[in-house]
Structure 1
Amino acid sequence: MSVVIHDNAACGDARPTLSVLMPFLRDDPSDLLCMLDREAQGVGGRAELIVLDDGTADPALTARLTALIDALSLPARLITLGANEGRSKGRNRLAQEARGRFLLFLDSDMRPDHARFLADWVDLAVNDNPAVAFGGFSLLQAPTDTRYAVHRQMAARSDCISADQRTLQPEKYVFTSNLLVRRDVFDTESFDAGFSGWGWEDVEWAMRVSRRFPVVHIDNPATHMGLDTVEALTAKYEQSAPNFARVAARHPDFVAAYPSYRVAKKLKAVPGLRMIRPLFKQVARLGLLPPALRGFSLRLYRAALYAEAI
């Protein structure tokens, strides 16, 4: 596989405390890079940016990002892969490239919700030395298009919750969208490259880590801009079913407490589930229904997929 690495002028002498690790595939992370770079003076050389193009194969985008990287004040590196290697492998590669004692995994479709987002992460790392910390995410800046109404409703209900709520099940609410990890912790437990497609590799990692290290939750949110249509969500859920089964087999004690697992176990006993399952998908597609009802039907569709996988 071809790998091209491009550093900006600030990268060479940098001695960062925090490495911001940002993978992307067929997205343009330019807006997020610019937003983070506005904090360059505030973090005083204590942060670097490492961006991984995981096989987009778009020379025009690569050229634009190379020029942007060169213009940033923060130390920054762009890694361009000739072929996609997947979510887990890509993030493991980013961690290997990092020079900071702390790693901040940040998805390219996130947007900081306040002007001290990066500085607050650096301060937390320096002052508290956490093993793992998740900052949460919001929908504050997310698009409000009707086509995203179901995903918005579902995310607001189950994902965009306070640190106090997330702390009740600390491993469940760990996503690579806004995740701080101390290097020695990641060296001990990296992402499982056996996961393929979309979903669950970050939660499974958190389950392993939480057995050995404390996982803390704070309110330092960023907006998840990448809301999906119902069609896109169903495709992701279909990809995630084998991954869910992998997690359930490895960590039955954790998974037993998850509503998605409990519903899947009940659905598994329903006769003719394979024939019923498409009806849940059809209901979720009906734009005339309230988003909450469509979201409920979509969760049933996901649970039915998981029922067949476990």
Structure 2
Amino acid sequence: MTDNAAWRTARPAVSVLVPFFRDDPSGLIEALSDEAQALAGSVELILLDDGSGDDALAERVTGLVQVSRLPTRFIRLKKNEGRSRGRNRLTTSARGGSFLFLDSDMLPDDRRFLQTWADLVARQDPAVAFGGFSLLQAPQDRAFAVHRAMSQKSECIPYQERALQPEKYVYTSNLLVRRDVFEAEAFDSEFSGWGWEDVEWAMRVARRFRVVHLDNPATHLGLESADKLAGKYEQSVANFARIVDRHPDFVSQYPSYRAARLLKSAPGVRRWRSLFKKAALDERVPVAARAFSLRLYRAALYAEAV
């Protein structure tokens, strides 16, 4: 565990919590540090290397932590604990009354990103708030075109629209949670692999607390190729089954659930599934059609869970 010089004397209201596993959070650390002077110790940053096993990466992060103008702590684990346990662990070092969960592959879209969050906490102290995310600064590589198309359609949503289904559009990429709310409802450490643990958490929380949406986005830099995205969907089936079992009232409203139900009753769904994946990975197919095929592939996978 490494603390920088500003850590000891700070009295933060907001704790920014960033887990990472083999991703380099250097750009995010530098961007957040740029706001330090205006924040005057009201926001701290805590980073968790969740067992990356990369000494060079850890050394680079340690160097940035030591020169950061934000009060910053860096925790390095020897073994990977997973997304939910890692985030839960981060909160045990946090001193603020609110936690801002940020993914390591995010980058603020505005120079007053942290100030906007600090002002919201000082003014309203919301139970839960999501700032949204964009692709404004994301790479334009052709290899990521399918992911970009899918994300723009289903995730980069204006805050007014997100507010209509507040629990659906909650991701730990840019999420503020008040301390007492998190103590009442932590992330479920039984989730494994990729996907749905943040949405399941939001479903639980939305039954007890108000979820606020605002326009304070950060860019998701970590776009994936279509084949890697398909692999993540394959990992997420068990997690989707878990939320179907726990929150059928919420999940039944989602297009992914309705599509999975339709495909479940279709003859030869396994054969269709392989065809959907093949089309999604075929670079000769137009991007919009590949994105639609990948959504169908995900629904065909989820047919096993509904």
- Coarse TM-score class (shorter-chain normalised): over 0.9
Shift in Å, 1:62:
1.0
1:223 has 2:207 as partner: no
Of 46, 49, 55 in structure 2, the residue corresponding to residue 50 of structure 1 is: 46
Of 83, 89, 110 in structure 2, the residue corresponding to residue 87 of structure 1 is: 83
1:62 has 2:62 as partner: no
Q: Where does 1:33-48 land on structure 2 (aligned, <5 Å)?
A: 33-48=29-44
Runs (4 or more) in structure 1 with deviation over 3 Å come to none
Shift in Å, 1:298:
0.2
Structure 2: runs of 5 or more not aligned: none
What secondary structure, in the 3-state scheme, does the structure 1 residue paired with 2:6 have? helix
CA distance in structure 2 between the partners assigned to 1:171 and 1:97 by the alignment: 27
Structure 1: runs of 5 or more not aligned: none
Of 131, 135, 138 in structure 1, the residue corresponding to residue 134 of structure 2 is: 138
Q: Paired residues, what number?
A: 306
Q: Where does 1:1-310 land on structure 2 (aligned, <5 Å)?
A: 5-310=1-306
Shift in Å, 1:52:
0.3
Question: Which letter does structure 1 place at the counterpart of 2:23?
Answer: D
| Same amino acid, percent of matched pairs | 63
What secondary structure, in the 3-state scheme, does the structure 2 residue paired with 1:133 have? strand
Contact kept? 2:244, 2:305, Cα under 8 Å: no
What secondary structure, in the 3-state scheme, does the structure 2 residue paired with 1:191 have? coil
TM score, norm. by length of structure 2: 0.99
Question: Which letter does structure 1 place at the counterpart of 2:53?
Answer: A
Question: Which letter does structure 2 place at the counterpart of 1:112?
Answer: P
Question: Which letter does structure 1 place at the counterpart of 2:151?
Answer: A
CA distance in structure 2 between the partners assigned to 1:290 and 1:221 by the alignment: 29
What secondary structure, in the 3-state scheme, does the structure 2 residue paired with 1:10 have? coil
CA distance in structure 1 between the partners assigned to 2:255 and 2:174 by the alignment: 24
The C-alpha deviation readout for 1:186-225, integer Å capped at 9, x for no partner, is 0000000010000000000000000000001000000000
Q: In terms of mean alpha carbon deviation, does 268-277 or 212-221 score higher?
A: 268-277
Question: Which letter does structure 2 place at the counterpart of 1:304?
Answer: A
CA distance in structure 1 between the partners assigned to 2:167 and 2:53 by the alignment: 35
CA distance in structure 1 between the partners assigned to 2:160 and 2:104 by the alignment: 26
Question: Which letter does structure 2 place at the counterpart of 1:192?
Answer: D
Q: In terms of mean alpha carbon deviation, does 31-40 or 284-293 score higher?
A: 284-293
Question: Which letter does structure 1 place at the counterpart of 2:156?
Answer: C
CA distance in structure 2 between the partners assigned to 1:235 and 1:45 by the alignment: 41
CA distance in structure 2 between the partners assigned to 1:69 and 1:255 by the alignment: 40
CA distance in structure 2 between the partners assigned to 1:105 and 1:209 by the alignment: 15
Shift in Å, 1:271:
1.4
Shift in Å, 1:275:
2.0
Contact kept? 2:167, 2:211, Cα under 8 Å: yes
The C-alpha deviation readout for 1:92-128, integer Å capped at 9, x for no partner, is 0011110000000000000000110000000001101
What secondary structure, in the 3-state scheme, does the structure 1 residue paired with 2:219 have? strand
The C-alpha deviation readout for 1:104-162, integer Å capped at 9, x for no partner, is 00000000001100000000011011000000000100000000000000101110010
